[in-house]
Amino acid sequence: MKTELFQSVHNKAEYINFEYTLNWQTLYFGLFLSAIPYQAFTLARMCYIYCKSKSKATLHLVPFTSLMMMGYSNLFFCILDNIVFRLPSTAIFTSLCASSDPNKFLIILYILQLNSTYLSLGSSFLFCVTRCIIHFIPLSYKKVSKIAAWTLLFGFVIIICFGIYASSFMFGGIGYCRQWDHPFSFGAVYISYAETDQRHDPFFVPVTITLSLFIVLVNIGVICQNKKMAKTTNAGRRVYTDSAGKSLYYTTLAMIIPYLFHGCLTVITSSLKLFLKIYLQVVSVYYPATSAYVILIRSAVTDVFQCSILALYNKHTMFQTKKTSPVAIIPLSNLS
């Protein structure tokens, strides 16, 4: 059975004639909108400093490339999340949306948003994996870098292909603007989809939780290996300092919290709506009123932690403009 245009605002006089006034949604989402220029500027600055540096050997090319892939994937997700969910919630575009018909362009935006979620999570996992390869494989710098590079390329292709497959159920549908539930005010909308054979992506929650756990395990392995190196070699002590160890702990949390938070919220709200549907029969199983609260909390958590990852890595000696003492060049990545 095809899904319907539930709570659609299209071609309805009350939405066509809607006049925007400043509301709390605009202030709330506007507060986090600064995450986009911050991420874009920081990534551009890091790329510029790295390419300009005369000592690129202090920071392996593959970990740096995977760091940039993770950063730009997070930026891509942030932009699309604003386009699909947050900016329409301010009601600025409500009249424009209502004056048009449901169309393919809107569902393309939704498909891109879903793919950006997988890309953001997957690139974070690949960053940890490539760093782990350089730490654990006892080969020459040239050989281990080649292995890490091919792993990064192959993994990136898999992520792209999986995202396309996961979103393929929406290819035959259409996108439309839909009214948010409480606590959003009248006129606050977001992009949704209809006329598809299924309502939800069945892979999102298991993939989110599984990859988040893998990120934790991989980073724990890197931390243990670094501590072992720090105890047995002088080079290890120079690279794995207390600040580097804390950075690994912080970035591990920053990488997984947004995804685990979103995945857990999805599980909780799905269980709640099913309970209400079966036992109380007060809310539709397909359209839970809890979604509005999820986007409010998720937006803040995601932006804060994704920006904090860049803030932590931006402190690396490689990206400081002030002159510092040379960093030891050893067959390990010192990107911690």
pLDDT truncated to tens, each residue of the chain (336 aa)?
566 688 899 999 999 999 999 999 999 999 999 999 999 999 998 888 888 775 555 557 888 888 899 999 999 999 999 999 999 999 999 999 999 999 999 999 999 999 999 999 899 899 888 888 877 776 677 788 888 889 999 999 999 999 999 999 999 899 999 999 888 989 999 999 988 888 788 888 888 888 888 888 887 877 777 677 666 655 444 555 555 556 666 766 677 677 666 666 666 655 555 554 555 444 444 444 567 877 888 888 888 888 888 888 777 666 766 644 433 333 334 444
The continuous run of DSSP H or E covering 131 comes out as helix 104-136
Buried b (16+ CB within 10 A) or exposed e, 39-70: beebbeebeeebeeeeeeebbbebbbbbbbbb
CB 170 within 8 A of CB 107: yes
Asked if residue 231 is part of any domain, the answer here is: yes
Asked if residue 327 is part of any domain, the answer here is: no
Tell me the C-alpha distance between 65 and 189, whole Å: 37
CB 107 within 8 A of CB 3: no
For 195-276, list the strands marked E by DSSP. Answer: none
Asked if residue 1 is part of any domain, the answer here is: no
CB 262 within 8 A of CB 309: no
Asked if residue 152 is part of any domain, the answer here is: yes
Asked if residue 336 is part of any domain, the answer here is: no
Q: Roughly how many angstroms between the first and final C-alpha of the chain, as a whole number?
A: 50
Q: Which residues contact 12 (CB under 8 A, 6 or more apart)?
A: 98
The continuous run of DSSP H or E covering 165 comes out as helix 141-166
- Whichever domain contains 54, its CATH number is 1.20.1070.10
Asked if residue 262 is part of any domain, the answer here is: yes
Range of the domain at 231: 13-318
Could you tell me the two tokens for 37? 């220029």
Residue 318, judged by CB atoms within 10 A of its CB (0-12, 13-18, 19+), counts as buried
How many domains is the chain partitioned into structurally?
Answer: 1
Asked if residue 107 is part of any domain, the answer here is: yes
Q: 183 preceded by cis ω (within 30°)?
A: yes
Asked if residue 142 is part of any domain, the answer here is: yes
- Predicted structure pTM score: 0.82
